[in-house]
Structures are given as C-alpha cells and as structure tokens.
C-alpha cells in the first residue's frame, strides 16, 4: 500500500492522502484569495482555516473508521 494512488483525488484511501490533497486545495484557495484581496491577513486566515478544517476532518473520518 503506497502513499498515493492515481484515484486518491476522487476519494482519498488513507489519511496521508487526504491531508495531502486538503493542503493542495488550501493552497489553491489561498492563492485565489491573495489575487483577489492582496491582503496578507486575509490570505493567512483562509490558509489557516483550510488547514484546520482538513486536519479536523481527517481526524474525525479516521476515528469513525472511514480509512480502515
């Protein structure tokens, strides 16, 4: 079982893949916020919120046995 599979972008098969794609999505959203607002504080809040949501979501799904 590897870290990433080609189909992990559809539905991550392990917590590491979910965190990886969550961070990638967060970076894309943060860059969009930066290009729209040009404010570092707003971009930082978007990035921090995305990372927190990703980590909490993966923790809850892992605790519920989604990746098991």
Encode the chain (68 residues) as per-residue pLDDT tens digits: 568 888 888 889 999 999 999 999 999 999 999 999 999 999 999 999 999 999 999 999 999 999 87
For the full predicted model, state whether its pTM sits above 0.85. Answer: yes
Residue 18 belongs to a domain = no
Residue 4 belongs to a domain = no
Q: How many domains does the chain have?
A: 1
Structural domain that includes position 34 = 23-62
Residue 30 belongs to a domain = yes
Based on C-alpha coordinates, what's the Rg of the chain?
Answer: 14
Residue 43 belongs to a domain = yes
Q: How far apart are CA 1 and CA 68, in angstroms?
A: 13
Q: With beta carbons less than 8 A apart as the criterion, state whether 43 and 30 touch.
A: yes
């Amino acid at each position: 079982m590897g870290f990433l599979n080609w189909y992990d972008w559809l539905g991550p098969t392990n917590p590491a893949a979910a965190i990886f794609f969550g961070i990638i999505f967060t970076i894309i959203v943060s860059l969009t916020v930066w290009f729209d607002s040009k404010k570092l504080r707003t971009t930082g809040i978007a990035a921090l919120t995305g990372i927190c949501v990703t980590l909490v979501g993966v923790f809850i799904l892992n605790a519920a046995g989604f990746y098991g």
